[in-house]
Amino acid sequence: MTTVHVLNGPNLNLLGTRKPEVYGTATLDTVQQMCRETAAELGVDLVFRQSNHEGELIDWIHEAGRDVKAGESIGAVFNPGAYTHTSVALHDAIEGVELPVIELHLSNVHNREPFRHHSCISPVATGIIIGLGVQAYPLAIKALHQRAN
């Protein structure tokens, strides 16, 4: 069975308690359940991960890229959190393994602080979903699935 990877960056483990007025009240466990349900509907397996460590995210991107090349994955949904604005290393990892990525942000980063307006990830992303809250995750999985089929 084909897999979709859902990768979450720093502080997303605090979802539901950190700035609920910006990020909402759903927890990461709720998001994972939403993703599991969507993946099951589409007949794909789900790898769902979160890390506060850039190197671990890079390793997971490499893994997802290998899976895509082997025909075992349709790509990754990636919410890089604050690494969006700073990580050339994540950009290079995605580009290096030619990973189809839907970049995802819960809030509309363009109506927030100016430093959030720049993304290191967007230039190598297949698509970007911003500002739709946790509902963006199922949409991103469906977009990857549609692109792969």
Q: Which domains does the chain have, with CATH numbers?
A: 3-148 (3.40.50.9100)
Is 23 considered catalytic here? yes
pLDDT of residue 97: 98
Q: Residues at the annotated binding site for substrate? A: 79, 85, 92, 106-107, 116
Is 83 considered catalytic here? no
Residues of the chain with pLDDT > 90, as a percent, come to 83
H-type alpha helices, 8-135: 20-23, 28-42, 54-69, 88-97
The overall longest dimension of the chain from CA atoms, in Å, is 42
pLDDT tens-digit map of 17-60? 988 877 778 999 999 999 999 999 999 999 999 999 999 999 99
**How far is 93 from 101, CA to CA, in rounded Å?**
11
pLDDT of residue 110: 80
pTM: 0.94
Which residues in the chain show pLDDT less than 50?
none
Q: Residues at the annotated binding site? A: 79, 85, 92, 106-107, 116
**How far is 25 from 28, CA to CA, in rounded Å?**
10
Count Cβ neighbours within 10 Å for each residue of 4-13 and write b for 16 or more, e otherwise. bbbbbbbebb
pLDDT of residue 3: 98
**How far is 77 from 141, CA to CA, in rounded Å?**
7
Mean pLDDT across the chain:
94
pLDDT of residue 91: 98
Q: Is 133 exposed, middle or buried (0-12, 13-18, 19+ CB in 10 A)?
A: middle
